[in-house]
Amino acid sequence: MSTSKFEFATIVALLRRSENDTQVRTFFGQAMSRIEHDEYYGSLEFKSEGVDVVFKEAPRVVRPREVGDPKELYVAAFHLHREGHEGYAGYSGQLPNGVALDDPEGDLLRKMGSSPYSSGGGGMSKLLKRPIPYWFRYALRDGFLHFQLDAIGRIEMVTLDASDVVGGRVLAVSHG
């Protein structure tokens, strides 16, 4: 397995950091000028690395007392894709507990624990007119790790997510 710029410990350290943070600017470099802005969000794609990054406005990511400019974007999530998922190359970094993209559900539950923080999915989306993927969410010290499964129950995408602050209250419970 090749070494990825997006090593797990490195991206965890970037969560909840401002787009203006020196560490964020250094890590993403010139790519920062390519952030695609939407109403309250921003994103960067690194298709050849199997990664896309979500930025959100401050109140959606950090506690109110930490907010300077409410329009400032903060690193909120990293989507780590399996080879071919949504046109991405496969993420090549190591995931926690030896989990690997394309692992079957049983292996995921054995490696991460049979009692995720939450789980869901299944059924059909009336809005999108497609199946809703099954998923499992585990609490980490710095956010959540969300595993999305494909139609045959294999991991197709992992999301490292720090979007757990609502009204100044952190919803994640530290387990890691």
- Residues sharing a CB contact under 8 Å with residue 38, sequence separation 6 or more, in sequence order: none
Which residue type does 36 have? E
Token pair of 92, please?
């090549």
Report residue 27: phi and psi, to 5°: -65, -50
Of all helices (H) and strands (E), which one includes residue 158?
strand 155-161
- Name beta bridge partners: 78: 53, 160
- Kindly list the domain boundaries of the chain, sorted by start residue: 8-170
Cα–Cα dist 113/131, whole Å: 25
What is the model's pLDDT at position 112?
97
Residue 21 neighbours by CB distance under 10 Å: 15
Vertex 96, ends 30 and 175: CA angle to 5°?
Answer: 105
- Residues sharing a CB contact under 8 Å with residue 106, sequence separation 6 or more, in sequence order: none
Pairing type for strands 155-161 and 73-81 reads: antiparallel
CB 140 within 8 A of CB 152: no
What is the model's pLDDT at position 159?
97
CB 165 within 8 A of CB 63: yes
pLDDT block averages, 10 residues each, the chain of length 176: 80 93 96 88 95 86 69 92 96 96 97 94 85 91 90 96 55 39
